[in-house]
Amino acid sequence: MAALGAGLEAIFAPRSIAIVGASQDATKIGGRPVELLRRFGFPGAVYPVNPRATEVQGLPAFASVEALPEAPDLAIIAVAAEAAGDALDACAAKGVKAAVIFSSGFAELGEAGLAMQDRLRATAQRSGMRVLGPNCLGAASIAERSIATFSVVLENGLPPVGPLGIASQSGNIGSYTALLARERGIGASRFITTGNECDVDIADAIAFLARDDATTVILCVLETCRDAARLTGALEMAREAGKPVIVLKIGASEAGQAAAASHTGALAGSDAVFDAVFRRAGAVRVHSVEQLLDLGHAAAVLGDRLPKGRRTMLLTASGGFGVLLADAASAAGLSLPSPSAETQRRILDVVPYASPRNPVDATAQMSSRPAILEAILAALLEDDACDALLVLMSASLNLPRLRSVYMPTLRAVREKHPDKVVMLAVHGPADAVAELTAMGFPVVDGVAPSTQTLAGLCDLAAARLLPPLPAPLPPAPTIDGAALRSEAGAKQALAAAGVPVLPERVVASTAEAVQAAMAMGLPVVLKIVSPDLPHKTEVGGVMLGLDSAEAVAEAYDAMLARVRAAAPAARIEGVLVSPMMHGGTEMILGAKRDPVFGPVVLVGLGGIFAEVLQDVAVRPAPVNEAEAMAMLRSLKAFAVLDGARGRPKADLAAAASAIAALSRYAAQHAADIAEIDINPLLVRPAGQGAVALDALIVPG
């Protein structure tokens, strides 16, 4: 497989382009690229290939690829699927460097189509030609006027030249993103849709844009990942290049579609894993095309001036809008500190009846005179608790009188505070928005969109501080089969890996059970040991709180009788005797081998927090203790661990150590293990450690 992003120059900046299947009709798929290349002024040679015409749309046509006067850098193939293979072979023989295949009817239609697509892949690999598609909308470079697409969104014009690179697996969503960029006057550098990805994939596109001087921000529309290592490698290349990657991931699956052999399998759904991969790689996920453009454009406008934190001051001319803005900012995860007493005094000095707290309601007086507005903005920007300022201007710029106040004032503020982050929530005329953007202000239309965009900028800033991706751990020796048979074996294996467990003993008789219980101290727990019963409670295979020798003996006999009646075919290897633990917070800790990204580790609070509220943190394995601690702090219920409502603080360091140890074990045994479930991990009060009370290892 070609190196990430290699050879895509021939797609984005070709010196000559051939269109195989070129049509005289500019509305047809084979005719549209010819028309667009001519209309937008592609400076290189354009060679229509059509065996039934001597001229196509005013250009000399050629009967075949072989008949071309030179080997073009790029060939666009717009023929039926059945003919695409021969056309690509002809391009390879001619020495074409890259091809874009519009044709559909390949892997998306089943085995026969897959076989034809495999032929295309083989041709690409044999020849070294880079092949985009099939079943794609192609690519375009705005500055170079290289149009290798039939997308109708370009018929009314190209986006302006700018810093946003658009890479999309979905042709329609990618082209729609380009359309919105053009309508909003947002500049783009490149546009590429990868379709079925027989050769060029989304990772290639990201990697090329990461090295592309014309691109500073990468917008990605992702449906799936066919090669985890290539995707994460491309995202890391973008991060090393200092280029933000903003991802619209579509096709979120329901957590719980995974095999439910363990709680972990149900909770670590594939969409949660994508989130975790993006987070570790420093990419920021959004959930709509509009958010994709809002955040991408804002990041491009700010460049290196990203917020230093999430502390946000809000300024409005309306109390109602202030409340609405505060609600949206809080929902987006922004922090709203109170301005200092000095800042509030400065605001009241210019507008005595303002509400100087956050959000600041400066009333309509803020737009009455430039001096008033400038004084308020300066007071907020100079407050030590202000990482970013969000100004809600609503529709003010539609009024010439108010525009004459805002424009010079904002220009002066930008000049006096060049490093400060000021976002403007504006519903205004395009020329005013363009003028503000040129000053260096990110402008977003809408209350919620503006707060979401600012929160995304904070995420991008935090991503710059992430450490490099960890090196893979070497595989460990094949796991001992005993670890896969029962809780007792699983705990022994996990204990050797650094996960804390209790001193326990497997017994085979009533007398042994009593002896073990008395030796370790009452009360104790009895659990059935069987490779056939992963969920012991369902067959009555767990007895808790046994506080006397008599209770242990009675429970042992009664439990065996219940289990044999409920599961007569189950193999019984004994009974596990362990101390009964009290105090602390129960958590669920697990690992899973994701089919795309490999081993991941999961943690959440036990009970309804994890299973009902889906309050879990997921990361690719392995993680270190710092990442594990960040996982704990990311939980919505973290306050429970942190001593909320007078609870003792949990031993977070011990919990993080257990998470890291499990993640290393899962990463090193990824070939042997499908899932690991520790439920619960009991996290004791600070300084008292953590311990796995139950464990299950599912072979894979």
What CATH number is attached to the domain comprising 633? 3.30.470.20
What digits encode the pLDDT tens for the residues 24-47? 999 999 999 999 999 999 999 999
Distance CA 602, CA 361 (A): 43
What pLDDT is attached to residue 263?
A: 47
Which residues are bridge partners to 529 per DSSP?
574
Could you give the number of structural domains in the chain?
A: 4
One-letter amino acid of 639: A
What digits encode the pLDDT tens for the residues 448-475? 999 999 999 999 999 999 888 778 888 8
> Is there a single domain that holds both residue 556 and residue 614?
no
Domain boundary among 579, 603, 623: 579
Encode burial over 345-370: b for 16+ CB neighbours within 10 A, e otherwise: ebbeebbeebbbebbbbbeebbbeeb
> Is there a single domain that holds both residue 365 and residue 455?
yes
Q: Is 308 left (phi over 0), alpha (psi -120 to 50) or beta?
A: alpha
Residue whose token pair is 């956050």: 358
> Is there a single domain that holds both residue 278 and residue 350?
no
What pLDDT is attached to residue 252?
A: 66
> Above 50 in pLDDT, residue 193?
yes
Least confident span in 250-264, 323-337, 596-610: 250-264
**Three-state SS at 588:** strand
Domain boundary among 253, 272, 299: 299
> Above 90 in pLDDT, residue 582?
no
> Is there a single domain that holds both residue 353 and residue 414?
yes
What digits encode the pLDDT tens for the residues 279-334? 999 999 999 999 999 999 999 999 999 999 999 999 999 999 999 999 999 999 99
Mean pLDDT value of segment 82-102? 98
Name the band, by pLDDT with cuts 50, 70 and 90, for residue 523. very high
Distance CA 353, CA 343 (A): 15
Going by DSSP bridges, is the β-strand pair 690-692/673-683 parallel, antiparallel, or unpaired?
antiparallel
Name the band, by pLDDT with cuts 50, 70 and 90, for residue 10. very high
Residue numbers of the domain that contains 177: 9-299
> Is there a single domain that holds both residue 564 and residue 592?
no
> pLDDT averaged over the chain?
93
- CA angle, residues 354, 360, 365, in degrees to nearest 5: 45
> Is there a single domain that holds both residue 38 and residue 152?
yes
Going by DSSP bridges, is the β-strand pair 574-579/524-529 parallel, antiparallel, or unpaired?
antiparallel
> Is there a single domain that holds both residue 41 and residue 175?
yes
Name the band, by pLDDT with cuts 50, 70 and 90, for residue 256. very low
Question: Which parts of 50-187 are beta strand (E)?
Answer: 55-56, 59-60, 74-77, 98-101, 130-132, 139-141, 146-148, 161-168
What pLDDT is attached to residue 53?
A: 94
DSSP class of 648: P
> Is there a single domain that holds both residue 131 and residue 237?
yes
What pLDDT is attached to residue 206?
A: 98
What pLDDT is attached to residue 255?
A: 36
Residue whose token pair is 């995420």: 459
What pLDDT is attached to residue 262?
A: 46
Domain-embedded: residue 427: yes
> Above 80 in pLDDT, residue 609?
no
Going 304 to 305 to 308 to 312, the CA torsion angle's sign is negative
The model carries a pTM of 0.91
> Above 70 in pLDDT, residue 658?
yes
